[in-house]
Chains A and B, each alone.
Chain A
Amino acid sequence: MRPENYQAVSHPPSHEYEVFFGPNHPGIEGNYALKVRLHGDEVTAARADGGYLHRGFEKLMEGRLWIQNIALVPRICVPDPVPMEVCYSLAIEALGGLEVPERAQWIRVMQLELSRIAAHLFTFGGNAATTGMYTPMFWGIADRDLILDLFEELSGGRVYHIYNIPGGVRRDLPEGYLKRVSDTLDYIESRLPDYDNLMFTNQVFVRRATGVGIMTQEQALDWGVTGPNLRATGLPFDVRRDDPYLIYDQLEFDVPVEEAGDAWARTLVRRAELKQSLRILRQVVARLPEIDGPIRAPIPNPLAWNLPLGDVYTRVESSKGELAYYVVSNGGDKPWRVHVRGPSAMHAVQVLEHLVTGARIEDVAQIMFSLDACPPEVDR
């Protein structure tokens, strides 16, 4: 615990407590902590604590060549690394005036959606575990592993794929790859009734999530909430559709919304989104074989690559919400500034502090997981 957290609580009344919720807590993601003040079992105040994760990515990136940073960015969000790679690459491409070949764009979308499915499966598991249901966690992680297998085959790495590179992607698809993607999609689709049965229609979970961590659409907008959390308050906004990048405008998919704005609504949005991702991937698997051509635009020697003076703000829809990179070049061979705007920066600090205030202590973990916050995005 941090020194500030060692400060003795100043003579609380006997029914008031201060509780350190994390970082060593199964209900907390990553090295993150909440310091909550309790009145009985009711949270009266909460402070988010950035945790011990700080690796100074933004500073590190300023000391590395444009291309070297591709090995760094996926580490900012471990469960959903592809949006990080793509968003950074999009920024470099915009600054350098690179046209990403169409095939590479399709391959990127394929990865982005696979990564989204993997991330959602992971989150379902964690979310269920906060209510004491551990089977969905085992399932979620085991099924996510099948997607990691696909990533391993594609990129050589299961978690840190480092597969996207400014200009496109680093390798073409292995022989027969789309068939295996298709098989995995079939399998995951066949599992959905199991998840419904186990989790989404399970009254233990439904009732623990319903009415918990409610935010109105007005609040959500006020707090800068994005992604599934925002859509769970009834606003149908999705960067993929409304600020399109890559070839998302050539794909058919819905933007699912829920109205209730509670933990359950957020879970339902993710459940529906996973199906949309499967739908997108079916289209990619069908179309990708027809799209020939290079997988990467020609790029200069990475050791001698100056990007023109300029700045760019690129956004993608990650599984957590709006992910953006603000990249500034001073004309040199390294970024002058990279600012990572992770969706969780909002969700895990201000929003979480608001939502847990007034909640009961047993719902804190549920609220946190329902927001699907990824602490490394805060503490990047």
Chain B
Amino acid sequence: MSIHQTSFVLSVEDLTVSFDGFKAVDGLTFYVEPNECRVMIGPNGAGKTTVLDLICGRTRATSGSVRFKDQELLSMREDQIVLAGVGRKFQTPSVYEDLSVFENLELSFPRGHGVFGSLFFRRDAEVKDRIQEIAETIFLADLLDEKAAFLSHGQKQWLEIGMLLIQDPELLMLDEPVAGMSVAERKKTAELLNRIIDHRSVIVIEHDMGFVEDIATRVTVLHQGKTLSEGKMDKVKNDPKVIEVYLGH
């Protein structure tokens, strides 16, 4: 174990997954540094979402290694990965529609995650204050007691981001956070994201190039499960390989 490796927050090495012979991700390697915002781009089917699925344990890898700080994530369960400090936001807003905004946030509060911990979980001042604080951040302070089912699409996205914030993960993975939003919502969201990606490492999948340029530290371009190009936005943008498969069509 070299000193060099441990300075990364996330080291993905030679990651491969195959579905009945089809290699959706093929020998992928990349590293994420502390406080880096890594954006993944690539055409549909390039394997972007699958990479996130592999990191957070939703899909089991065929081979390779994913190390988060000093832990091998591939042998851990999803919930263990989350508790280790990896948060994930899904492409479609996924909140608990039958619960209120308050309860949605409460379930993500990082305490009482065991069976008995949750059975004897107390809703004390710390919890309430933190939820209030987060709710204000995500523009939902007035809607705390509303059922999540009655929120608009954008509000649901914010709520989900809020649920991630309250977890306070070291590595945050966002899958198309501004997709399907109105212009006004998108602006608010970008503002929100800019605020929350401070002080932590982030992996974002996004198609909106303006948005990408705005937030990206570095960019990885995926194509057919492999890295096509990697580096600063400017460098990637001018890479002829990238232009051919993705930008220049």
Determine if chain A interacts with chain B.
no
Q: Which residues of B contact A (CB under 8 A)?
A: none
Q: Which residues of A contact B (CB under 8 A)?
A: none
